[in-house]
Amino acid sequence: MADLLYLAIVFFVLAIVAAVLGAGRVAGLSMDIAKWLVIIFIVLAIITLIL
């Protein structure tokens, strides 16, 4: 599960770099991927705590 969090951070940093460089579409896509990875991480963490 730590891999999901690591990938989310990587995509978040990529989005920030892309936004600074003016690549809006790449930044938006990277933020969407990072958001979904964080959501999946949270859901899996809750499932793990319940079980």
Region 5-13: what's the mean pLDDT? 86
Distance between CA atoms of 31 and 36, rounded to whole angstroms?
9
Q: 38 near 8, Cβ under 8 Å?
A: yes
Q: Which residue in the block uniquely carries the two structure tokens 């978040």? A: 12
- The conformation of residue 20, written as its DSSP 8-state character, comes to H
pTM value?
Answer: 0.75
pLDDT greater than 80 at residue 36 = yes
Distance between CA atoms of 46 and 30, rounded to whole angstroms?
24
